[in-house]
Structure 1
């Protein structure tokens, strides 16, 4: 029988074989990395989310309101011509409020879910979220349900652990250094033999980071949507950035 609080992190890829998933269990004095794996189908993800207190998912939870409105207006031939189709106009159409807020806060540019390949896993998440809602699990774009949108790369900057090029095979040495730094900064985290998996594969490491951020969100240590962006976040999604490492 498991004791403690379960937090899940998911580095969602469009391909289940490349999807990282991690489960942490908060036992009060320490947080144990119970499991980390790369390779998670929809059933595995749904089951993990349903058994967690909070799940952090590295994927956009929605699309920009301006983009959705443009598509509908274009479909119905009611689109008012913009003064210009310059880069500023396109930026307003293609980026969410939360994307611009992450850029303002930590200087990192999230990929545009409206114009980049990140749309592939985002569409997968839309299908998974529909399954969760069908089973009575509260999920919402703004992250106030059981799952929240996270961004490991931006979380590292918020934790002042930026500068690591840890992606892909060439990033193994950097991942090893990053795991070492995380271990020092998170003395309460018991990797329980899973450090090697995170050094071997950035998808595994991002899943652990996503789970740590989910725990921060649950404990009130991450930034929620401000009142003036609450309506947009409810449609577009909201990237929960952690505050200081605790």
Structure 2
């Protein structure tokens, strides 16, 4: 099995791609690089069994309706008010599920810093679809939305400040490699992951994608299938990292 993890950013410079080969419980990091443009992402996805992208695959349906109503000048008199009333505009149903399972809210794709990256993701997913790929935002095809920090938290491997502190990132990487041993990595790959949170998150995205392809992530609840197909759905691991990598 070949799985690709993509830590997507608004621009190529901060976009990282990891390509993992999984043969049973043995994993090898075949490729890891920063600075991936859209063509590089498409090339990396070629031949992969799964492609996990760390980015929202869509926007909250309520937000889309709200913006459309505003653009058309037909805002209803019952428009949401207050923090609680506006929460559905900020968070997707999958974000609510992440908060329920991890105790932490993801960044909002409609009100936080993710908007420009999500626009790039939307164009990428459309490019794959136009090439004949089955692109299901709920994750039934090759492409799946992943969330590295939440995956690490569920696996019990999250170190505080790993995003901003190289020492914390090095400790987290050591814990990941110990939990998922053996992962074949080179010294230069390890150095890059310690230096760059983007490269490290690409590895975690690839591991979460392996878990998803092996059926070790929580499925979309049946009653949320339609909304997940529009808004996207984060594949959260079901079990520890060692468990999901047993095959």
TM-score (normalizing by structure 1): 0.94
Q: CA deviation at 1:83?
A: 6.6
Distance, in Å, in 1 between the alignment partners of 2:96 and 2:225 is 14
Is the counterpart of residue 172 in structure 1 residue 166 in structure 2? Answer: yes
Is the counterpart of residue 186 in structure 1 residue 180 in structure 2? Answer: yes
Task: Confirm or deny: 8 A CA contact 1:58 1:149 kept in the other structure.
Answer: yes
Is the counterpart of residue 10 in structure 1 residue 11 in structure 2? Answer: no
Show the counterpart of 2:18. 22
Show the counterpart of 2:200. 205
Distance, in Å, in 1 between the alignment partners of 2:127 and 2:88 is 31
Task: Confirm or deny: 8 A CA contact 2:159 2:172 kept in the other structure.
Answer: no
> Where in structure 1 do 4 or more consecutive aligned residues deviate above 4 Å?
none
Show the counterpart of 1:239. 234
Q: CA 1:216/1:84 → structure 2, altered by over 3 Å: closer, same or farther?
A: closer
Q: Secondary structure at the match of 1:77?
A: coil
RMSD between aligned alpha carbons? 1.3
Structure 1 residues 215-224 or 183-192, which shifts more? 183-192
Task: Confirm or deny: 8 A CA contact 2:158 2:172 kept in the other structure.
Answer: no
Q: CA deviation at 1:101?
A: 0.7
Task: Confirm or deny: 8 A CA contact 2:29 2:185 kept in the other structure.
Answer: yes
Q: CA deviation at 1:192?
A: 3.6
Show the counterpart of 1:98. 94
Q: Secondary structure at the match of 1:56?
A: strand
CA distances 1:142-201 after superposition (whole Å, capped 9, x unpaired): 111211000001001110123421123xx1100110111111111132224322211111
Task: Confirm or deny: 8 A CA contact 1:164 1:178 kept in the other structure.
Answer: no
Q: Secondary structure at the match of 1:161?
A: coil
Q: CA 1:176/1:79 → structure 2, altered by over 3 Å: closer, same or farther?
A: same
Is the counterpart of residue 65 in structure 1 residue 61 in structure 2? Answer: yes
Distance, in Å, in 2 between the alignment partners of 1:226 and 1:190 is 35
Q: CA 1:57/1:83 → structure 2, altered by over 3 Å: closer, same or farther?
A: closer
Structure 1 residues 79-88 or 27-36, which shifts more? 79-88
Task: Confirm or deny: 8 A CA contact 1:49 1:147 kept in the other structure.
Answer: no
Aligned residue-pair number: 240
Q: Secondary structure at the match of 1:109?
A: coil
Task: Confirm or deny: 8 A CA contact 2:159 2:171 kept in the other structure.
Answer: no
What is the aligned counterpart of 1:226 among 214, 221, 228? 221
